[in-house]
Amino acid sequence: MWPKGIRCAVCLTFDFDAESLYLGYMERLRFEGDRRQFAQTLTPISRGQYGTKVGIVRVLRFLEKHAIPGTFFVPGLTADLYPDTVREIARQGHELANHGYYHENPTEFIGDLEKETSILRRANDTLERLCGVRPVGYRSPGWDLNPYTPEILLKEGMLYDSSLMDQEKPYLLFEEEKSKLIELPIDWLLDDYVHFQFSPPSIPGLSAPSKVLEIWRGEFEGYLEDGGCFTLTMHPQVIGRSHRMQMLDQLVRYMKEKPGVWFATCGDVARHWADRD
Ligand SMILES: [Zn+2]
C-alpha cells in the first residue's frame, strides 16, 4: 500500500486562512442582505491576522527544525494580501494547495458550475502567478463538497481533494478518461480549530494542549497500526500559539521515534496513490 518500509503516512497541513475566514463571511452576509456588522469589526479580523504575524513564523520555523514538508491550503485572498509570506512558504519547499479565493463554501452554489470553476481557477491562477507552480490539491473551505465538485476538480486538472471524512486511508474519489482524483480524508477530531479556537456560540475551544496531545497521539497510533494517512488540519492563527506549538513538537517527536512513518505532502501521497491504483 505504501512505499517499501513505510507503515503509515503523516501529512501536516495548514489552512492559511488569515482574514479570509472573516472577510469571506462578511461578503456572504452582504450577499444575503444581512446588515449585521460584527464580522467587519477589527478584533475578529485581527484573529486571522495573528496567523500572518505570529503563527506562520512559528509554523515555518517548526517545519524547518524537523525537516518536514508541510502542505499549505491558501485562499487566493491570503496570497494576494501576503505575497512575500506565501512565496517564502514555497521557497522552503512546502506544497501550496487551493482553498478557494474568498474562502467560499462550494455547497453555497450547488449546480452553478461556472461560478465554482471560476473561483477554483482564480485561486489557482493567483498561487501559480506568485510561486510558479499550479496547485494540484484542493480542500473545501467549508469542509464540504457539492455533488459537482469532484468532476469540476478533475476537469481543472486537480489530482486530489482533502475534504471528506469517510476513511482513514486515501482512495480514488472520481475518475474520467484515465485522470484520477484521489481523496485524502480528514476529520474534525484531527483539526486544531474545534479543539482550540474560541468561537461562540458553537465552539467553546480553548482545550488544554495536553488533552489534544492525548487525542492526536492515540489516533496516530491507530493510523500507524492500520496503515492509514494521518492528515492533521491546522491553522497558523490557531496552532501558532506557543503552548500549542510545544504540544505539536512533542507529537512529532513521538511520531519520529516510530519506524516506518512517512512525513509527506498531500501531493506526494496523492501521486503515490494514483500510481498505485
Ligand atoms: Zn479554511
Residue 261 resides in a domain:
yes
Distance CA(276)–CA(96), nearest Å, equals 23
Q: Which three cell numbers stand for residue 119?
A: 473561483
Contact 119, 96 (CB under 8 A): no
Q: How far is the CA of 260 from the centre of ligand 1 (A)?
A: 30
Residue 1 resides in a domain:
no
Nearby residues of 236 by Cβ (< 8 Å), 6 or more positions away: 14, 16, 18, 51, 52, 55, 56, 58, 59
Residue 32 resides in a domain:
yes
Contact 67, 92 (CB under 8 A): no
> Which residue range(s) make up the domain with 190?
8-276
Question: Which pTM does this prediction carry?
Answer: 0.94
Give the pLDDT confidence score for residue 277 in this predicted structure: 57
Angle, CA of 81, 83 and 84, to the nearest 5°: 125
| β-bridge partners, 137 | 160
Q: What's the rounded mean pLDDT across residues 108-134?
A: 95
Give the pLDDT confidence score for residue 43 in this predicted structure: 82
The confidence band for 25, taking pLDDT boundaries of 50, 70 and 90, is: low
Distance CA(66)–CA(141), nearest Å, equals 28
Q: How far is the CA of 241 from the centre of ligand 1 (A)?
A: 18
Distance CA(98)–CA(218), nearest Å, equals 30
Q: Does position 253 have pLDDT exceeding 80, yes or no?
A: yes
Q: How far is the CA of 141 from the centre of ligand 1 (A)?
A: 5
How do residues 10-19 score in pLDDT, each as one tens digit? 999 999 999 8
Residue 2 resides in a domain:
no
Residue type, 275: D
| CATH number of the domain enclosing 201 | 3.20.20.370
Q: What's the rounded mean pLDDT across residues 221-236?
A: 98
Distance CA(155)–CA(175), nearest Å, equals 10
How do residues 143-174 score in pLDDT, each as one tens digit? 999 999 999 999 999 999 999 999 999 999 99
**Cα of 103 vs its chain's centroid, Å:** 12
The confidence band for 33, taking pLDDT boundaries of 50, 70 and 90, is: low
Q: How far is the CA of 185 from the centre of ligand 1 (A)?
A: 15
Q: How far is the CA of 15 from the centre of ligand 1 (A)?
A: 5
Residue 239 resides in a domain:
yes
Residue 3 resides in a domain:
no
Contact 277, 172 (CB under 8 A): yes
How do residues 42-80 score in pLDDT, each as one tens digit? 888 888 999 999 999 999 999 999 999 999 999 999 999
Give the pLDDT confidence score for residue 234 in this predicted structure: 98
Residue 156 resides in a domain:
yes
The confidence band for 263, taking pLDDT boundaries of 50, 70 and 90, is: very high
* 105 exposure class (CB count in 10 Å sphere: 0-12, 13-18, 19+): middle
Of 239, 233, 245, the closest CA to residue 99 belongs to: 233
The confidence band for 189, taking pLDDT boundaries of 50, 70 and 90, is: very high
Give the pLDDT confidence score for residue 23 in this predicted structure: 75
Q: How far is the CA of 178 from the centre of ligand 1 (A)?
A: 30
Q: How far is the CA of 5 from the centre of ligand 1 (A)?
A: 34
Q: How far is the CA of 35 from the centre of ligand 1 (A)?
A: 24
**Length of the chain counted residue by residue:** 277
Tracing cell 500559539 back to the chain, one arrives at: 241
Q: How far is the CA of 218 from the centre of ligand 1 (A)?
A: 25
Distance CA(61)–CA(110), nearest Å, equals 40
Q: How far is the CA of 232 from the centre of ligand 1 (A)?
A: 13
* 275 exposure class (CB count in 10 Å sphere: 0-12, 13-18, 19+): exposed
What is the count of structural domains for the chain?
1
Q: How far is the CA of 149 from the centre of ligand 1 (A)?
A: 17
Q: Does position 272 have pLDDT exceeding 90, yes or no?
A: yes
